[in-house]
Structures are given as C-alpha cells and as structure tokens.
Amino acid sequence: MASPLCFLLTIFILLPFFFSPSLEDAPASAPVSPGTLCKSTPNPSYCRSVLPNHTSDVYTYGRFSVRKSLSQSRKFLKLVDKYLQKYRPSLSVSAIRALQDCRFLAGLNMDFLLCSFETVNATSRTLSPVDADDIQTFLSAILTNQQTCLDGIQSTASAWTIRNGLSVPLSNDTKLYSVSLALFTKGWVPKKKKKAAWAWQRSSKRQLGFKHGRLHFKMSSKTRTIYETVSRRNLLQTRDDGDEEEVLVSDIVTVSQDGSGNFTTINDAVSAAPNNTNGLNGYFLIYITAGVYQEYISIAKNKRYLMMIGDGINQTIITGNRSVVDGWTTFNSATFAVVAPNFVAVNMTFQNTAGAIKHQAVAVRNGADLSAFYSCSFEGYQDTLYTHSLRQFYRECDIYGTVDFIFGNAAVVFQNCNIYPRKPMNGQFNAITAQGRTDPNQNTGTSIHDCNIMAADDLALSNTTFRTYLGRPWKEYSRTVYMQNFMGSLIDPAGWRAWDGDFALNTSYYAEYKNTGPGSNISQRVTWSGFHVINATDAANFTVSSFLLGDDWLQDTGVPYTATLI
C-alpha cells in the first residue's frame, strides 16, 4: 500500500495499469543513453533536453525527472501566487477564478509528486501492481490537473497577460511530467498484468445487505430506522460466501433543515468532520434528511472517509446554478465538488439548474480517489458530471444531460446506471461522453457497463430530431468503452462524433462490446482507426475488478458491484 507520507497527504490511490506499446522492452537496469531512452516517451526531443547527458539506467533518469518535476511544481505554484497578487486589481472575476483553480490544482500536484518522489527514491526495481498503480496514478492526475489549469486560462478571454505568462511554463511542465510518467511506467510498473495478483478476489457479484434488520441503502426507511442502525457503529454485512464483513462508521451526524438534527446545513456538517483520518475507525457519516439544500459544497482533501446518505433521489436534493456564462470556470461551476479520498454518497440528487442556455454548468465535480456514488441522481444539461481525475465508481445512478454531460479524465466505471440524454438547445446535439485523456501512459478512461441509455422525457416527446452520440474525443487520447448496455433508438447509427475535423480520431480508443437494443447496431458505426468492436478478453480490462481494482476497496464502502463481465 501507499507509504506513510502518502497517507499523511490523504492519498489512497489504486488504479489499474495499461501500458503504452511505444515503450521499449529493454531491461530497466541496463545502461542506456538519454537519446535512446527518450525515443520511448511521447515527446523525445523535450525528453532529451531535460535529462542529463550521460549514460545511465531508467531508474536514475526516472528519479532525476520526478525530482525536477517536484521542483517545477513548486516554482509554478509561486508563479501563480505572484500573478494573483500582482494583477488581481486589473483582472476580471473570471480570470481570478481561473488562477485560483490553477493554484488549487498546483497544490494537489505537489502532494502527488512528493509521494511519487519518495517511492522512486526508495527502490530500483519493479513494484508490486498495487504500489505501481499508486504512483502511476499520481503522475496521471498531475497531467490532468495541468490541462485543467490550461483550459481555464485559455477560456478567459480578457486575461491575455495571464495566458502569455503562464502558458509556456504550463506547457513545459506538462512535457516534463509526461517524461516522468513514461519513465516510471518503463522502470517501476510491471510489464504485464498478472492474474495471480487478484487471485484472492471476492465473488464477482456482491449484494448489499446489512444485519440488524438487513438495512439496504436503497430502501425508503424512516429517519429513526437509519439513525438507529447506523449509530451502532458497526454495520455488519454478509458476503455471498456467508462470512461477515464490516462497514465501519466512526461517528454520525444528522443534517435537517428544521433544526431537529445536529446541523441545518451540509457545509456545517462537513466542517465538523475530522481531518486527515486514516479510515481505520471507519467513515464519518453525514445523514441528510429530505429537503432542497441550496448550497455550494466543496469537500477538501483533508476530509477523508466521508459518507453521505440522503433520504433518496428527489428527496434529498443539493442544488445550484453556477455556469460559465455567468463568469465561473467549468471547474468551479460545480454545485458539489469533492477531492477527499474514500468519499461515498448514497440516496441523493445533485443538480445544476442553470439550464442549457448557460452552456457549461457542472452538477458534480469528482476528483476523489476511491470514491463511490450509489443510487444518486445527477441533473444538468451541458457538462453535468465532471469525473475529473483518479478512480471512481457509480452504481445504480441516474445521469441527465445534453452536451458532453459525462466528461473528465478519471478512471471511472458506471454500472447499472440510467443515462438520460435530454433535449438540447436548437442547433445542438447530444454527446454522452467527452473523455479527456491527454497522454498514452495515463491509466484513465470511462467504462460504461450494464447500463440503460434512454431518452429523457423532454427529448422523447420533442417534435424536433436531435442527434445523440455515445461520445466525442475531447482530448488526443480519449478512451471510452461501452459494455453490455441497453441502447435505445436515440443513439445515432454512427455512434460517435468528431470533435474538430480529424482531431484524435486515430489516437483515441473507443470500443463497444455486446451491447443490446436498437441503438447498439454497429453496422453503420464510424470507421476511425480509434474505434473498435472488442472481444471478451479486451472488455475484461475495463471491468471493476481490472480497471479499478475494485475488489480491493469497494467492499469497504458497502456499495454493491459486479466485478467482472455479466
């Protein structure tokens, strides 16, 4: 597992690994020139310019690159602070918000790089799959954070001073981080996934069922039943093999708008949660009674192991209306945002009510590793659910939107969810996904498994024909897989849509496996080289067990899941 420093930094990351075929298979301990080694990185010329000009092994080069990356991340954070202090009086509100996003993301990058450097500095050997996933995911998330900062700055039209001053260091640092990711993949990550690494996996299908009256999260039980059950601290769960395991709860508070609970707002309850817990004593559980909560909630990285349980979809509702049109960046337009690892939400609705006319308007932004949403609803139009980074799981959720309404660069699996494209504005089309992978060595992608894709009522009843696509390539190495889903007739026969000309059509990875329904017919699908109809062996790479290493952590959440293909 992750080192003590990583625990201190609140990071618990266990992502799966996929390896770039461009990386050479020479032994990592063999002496090699930087020119030769850099051929296996995405940007060989930049790689040669930063590595020391002498022959060494991959481990030495990798440590050098990660150390330099850490140094550069500190410099960039100072640069952003300088711009915020020096130019704030002359900047628009949207420009200041873009800089604040960059500062927040740069701080996360420093955390990730500290853990990464500690690991690479400690050993010159291939790591275990779990330990390698930790660091490969840190380095993947760093690149995502860089791109998010850049996107925010470039979309701020009035901030030419910021763009001119930050774009070059952002670009150069991104290239350096890409080198670090490539060298880490080359030297420390196992070359092949070993099935033995998951030989201890639990049963492939698990059902949630607590003792003490077998409380199911989805049941519409009353406040007292939930409170009395949860407050026992140990929620005993029965596995398929008959053995008991525990969903541990360290403490519980209730949020109720009528004053009958511990708090009247969700933000106050989050503030009361302990900081930097290691999870050994279980989750800090916030029970949120029915009501409409007009709050903007941001759960910081130190609020680990939070579990929120509501009274049900359309009963406990968190709502807001921030949008890009009204001066927010896409990143900070979210009604609900979380970066704290090991977050769980159950029985809640998250909304952004800005409407289609306000364009990008996020309901939930999730950058929390090992996070799970169960029986939740996400309602918006463009950019509803921002699966920003790290590892995430969604089970039996409803997702509503129009343009790119599931987007981001996490490693994420949606399972047994209902995906509802809505009626967009005239002249628009629906794209369900816009996946943002920017580097071939990132472990990220969107996997949609055993879900139902159907038109929302407003789209189904519309007299106008709006095209709906499975996705489009937001970034160069976009990766999205649909497996064993039901696809309604609303899906355009082409399946997928280009972003801009031929951008990323050959470098993206889009795949379909054994989907059903009238929209699943692949006979007229796009003919891009990046589109694939895959077999069971390839599809298995994108299951909960393989893609998320879900058997290692999801049982602790109490959320049911199917580990493999059905």
DSSP secondary structure string, 279-294? STT-EEEEEE-SEEE-
pTM (whole model) above 0.95: no
Separation CA 502–CA 118 (nearest Å): 41
The pLDDT of residue 533 is: 98
First-to-final CA distance of the chain: 30
| Rounded alpha-carbon distances, angstroms, from residue 121 to 17, 118, 137 | 21, 5, 17
3-state secondary structure of 488: coil
Q: Which two tokens stand for residue 544?
A: 């909960």
DSSP secondary structure string, 25-54? -S-TTS-B-HHHHHTTSS-HHHHHHHS-SS
Give the CA dihedral 386, 388, 394, 398, nearest 10 degrees: 0
Name beta bridge partners: 316: 291
DSSP secondary structure string, 510-530? EEEES-BSGGG--TT----TT
Convert 478-511 to b/e letters by CB count within 10 Å (16 or more is b).
bbbbbbbbbbbebbbeebbbebeeebbbebbbbb
Element of type H or E holding 352? strand 344-352
* Residue of 404, 439, 551, 556 marked active site: 404
Q: Can 398 be counted among the known catalytic residues?
A: no
What are phi and psi for residue 518, nearest 5 degrees?
-65, -25
The pLDDT of residue 461 is: 93
Q: Do 347 and 361 contact (CB within 8 A), yes or no? A: no
Residues of the chain with pLDDT under 50: 1-5, 7-24, 193-228, 230-240, 243-244
| Segment 62-110, tens digit of pLDDT | 999 999 999 999 999 999 999 999 888 888 888 999 999 999 999 999 9
The pLDDT of residue 6 is: 53
The pLDDT of residue 156 is: 76
Report CA 121 to chain centroid distance, whole Å: 28
Separation CA 402–CA 433 (nearest Å): 10
| Rounded alpha-carbon distances, angstroms, from residue 124 to 133, 194, 325, 368 | 16, 20, 50, 30
Q: Do 359 and 323 contact (CB within 8 A), yes or no? A: yes
Q: Which two tokens stand for residue 32?
A: 């090699």
Sole residue written with tokens 């925010």: 152
Q: Do 121 and 63 contact (CB within 8 A), yes or no? A: yes
Q: Fold for domain 34-188?
A: Butyryl-CoA Dehydrogenase, subunit A; domain 3 (1.20.140)
Contacting residues for 366 by C-beta, under 8 A, at least 6 apart: 337, 338, 343, 373, 385, 386, 387, 388, 392, 408, 410
What are phi and psi for residue 165, nearest 5 degrees?
-85, -25
Separation CA 355–CA 400 (nearest Å): 12
Sole residue written with tokens 């500095």: 121
| Segment 168-217, tens digit of pLDDT | 999 999 999 999 999 999 999 987 643 323 222 333 333 333 322 223 33
Separation CA 209–CA 452 (nearest Å): 24
| Rounded alpha-carbon distances, angstroms, from residue 84 to 60, 298, 301 | 37, 21, 22
Separation CA 261–CA 288 (nearest Å): 9
